[in-house]
Structure 1
Amino acid sequence: MSWFVAIGGLLLLGILVVLLRPLLKQQDEPTTTASGVREFNLAILREQLAELEHDKANGRLDQAAYEQARQELERRVLDDAGGSVRPVGAGGRRLGLAVGLVLVVPAAVVGLYFYLGTPEAVTGGKPQARGTGAGEHALSPEQIAGMVENLALRLQENPNDGQGWLMLGRSYAVLGRYPESAAAFSRALGLLPPDAQHYADFADIVAMTQGKRLEGEPEKLVRRALEIDPNNIKALALAGTIAFDRQDYARAIREWRKVLVQVPEGSPVAAGIQNSISDAENRMAIAGQQAESKRDSASAAPARVSGVVELDPALRAQLAPGDTLFVFARAVDGPKMPVAMLRKKVSDLPLQFTLDDSMSMTPQFKLSTVGKVVIGARVSRSGDALARAGDYEGLSVPVVVGTENARVVIATTVK
């Protein structure tokens, strides 16, 4: 029995390392796909089966021990189809899956073996031999799916087996058959006592059926899991992910810190959690800076100048109502180019005006970039913005940006 348990433990450890490593890498590192993980696991299984065939041929294993070991390895295939749940997203979304794998895979291995395998090999009873043919150790995806379907058929004969439905749900999940997995989980939860881990796993599966989104039914399942056990690691990890997706970074950090205190310091899971916390802290800092910038902009004095433009009565007879009127502001110290300009007609006089940044000539040279300005008004008979001889104009005294009572009187002829 000792060599049998040792082989099983090494296989389990290898699967966990392969599954957890890509989940706990930084977001900019390449990740291993689910299909790649399954291919890796199948390669291990084929190698182990080949070794068993070799040992049997050399007389190191009798028929009973050979059958026992072979059936155990076949159960490992079902473990690959029943011991994990795919992640629901990147960054913080991978955290719940990584945590869940550490907790669920060992339990799934033991459960599947005792349910479908040969528990007598561990308990000391006599195993029942099953016929196998030479060359059958090359497990194909079709064979894996067939083993899962055999489990489904057994459950049709025994539909009240809650643990069986649970194993089937996990198996369907890794095969990517998420609707069937969700249905199996639903059957299992209706038959088994309330268990926080089951609800957390179910939440992950339902999220996969709706495009990896945790809002809605998955969130309700996570809340139910935390009602049963407020310290359930996977439920806390998923709760943090839900908050993270809503940009509630403070809550995400609180939930993930509850996970951090429950896992071994320095472990890969702890490192993954800390990375997610750091990501949330960085995003929260950026959001805080943006909010502060908006508050500063809102509290700043408005970049505008307003007042009135009047026409000297002596000039009214010399101007037509349709002549063009330009009202502009230019910096007291700086280029003569206006920082804001408004176009009207002589018929609008006297004119109440407001100049602001939306009336700037260029984005780099606006009212908000200068301190003091002079307000000018000019009547152009040609309609040209450039001053020409014969135009009429007037200038205000220098005023600070933000002034609301500037006054301009058009009374001078441009020479």
Structure 2
Amino acid sequence: MIALWIGIGLLSLLAIVLLVWPLRRASGLRDAQLGFEAGDRYNAENVAIYRQRLRVMEEVLAAGEIGRERFEEDRLELERRLLEDAGNHRGRSLQAHTLGRWLVPVVLLCVVIGGLALYDHFGARRDLALFEVVQSLHDAPLERQQNGLESEAERQPGNPKVWAELFPLYRDSGQYDKAADVVETLIRLQGRQPWLLAQLTQAEFFAAHRTLTDRVQALVDETLALDPRQPVVNDILGIEAFDHARYGEAIDFWRKALAGYDDPEATQALQRVIDIAQQRMTDNDGSMTQVGLRVDLTLDPRLANRLPGDASVFLVARDSHEDGPPLAVTRTTLNALPRLLTLSDANAMTNTTKLSQAERVDLIVRVSASGQAKPQAGDLYGRLNDVAVSSSDKLSLVIDHVVPAP
């Protein structure tokens, strides 16, 4: 922003110079004009013509061709014409070169203010401010990135680029309700475009735990009516079909999605899940052995009664060696504990991140008083680090910590 304002200041200074420079020359131009008028030879030429005609008239008088009385009349007429020509040629006096200078600061002020107003309306000042915020948060923790972009969204609620930057942070961290709210805002700003409807469908689908609710189905129908090949929606339909062992349908949907994706990583991930679905179709009973972790969840007695029994319990698996979104997520309630839960590829959040793709994971369980995936002060949690995905043993995970206040 500093470079921008320096540039605006330099351009404004140039505009001021271009306006003031002609005024500095006004005095010299006036003197030159006065000098030109002082040296005007028009009247001198009229006098010379008068004298020449007068000599001719005197010669005619001396030759006796005209009388004295006629001579006096012609001479008076000639003098009268000379006086008229001299009077008609007298120019209007020049105005003072300082006249009207009070308008100069007014014009300069209008130029500067008008230029700033036009830039504010047509320029990209808000996008530049967003760019600087994004750059400053590039390597910051996820929570700080979210807070920074949330503050920028409050300052620029009408800038869709701010919401577009905020959306993937919510989506990739599992905050699907907030992600859906962001897409709703984008739709209000940019209209019901197929790609925005697809992102909203995805957020609503995962917020409903990979279920085609009436709301999600309505969004699917609206999006496909606008773009039957929309890859994100076809990907979602493939996931839903796969989860319900309709592997043929899943393959058809994923192949449609495959044709619409330009991202090489997304297409590779889709091809892998298509291969898995094809393998399952060849099994006699429609099933196959898959990677899975059995986790026995219990609550530390010391933390009993801290939260209501209907509080949500999230069990999350994350890659121990790579940052990224959760590989698998499942959910239960506090009053259902102790309980044995299973995490597998069926609990994946997206097709590009699967539990079977990792060798070792960290298991985190959290009890949320608000029902949101984002940790908040007062939530309960526990964790197991560096667990082998191939482990067939039953794992014991105890909820024995409280999320502290910031």
Using the size of structure 2 for normalisation, the TM-score is 0.34
Greater relative contact order structure (CA < 8 Å, 6+ sep): 1
Using the size of structure 1 for normalisation, the TM-score is 0.33
Choose 1 or 2 for highest CA Rg. 2
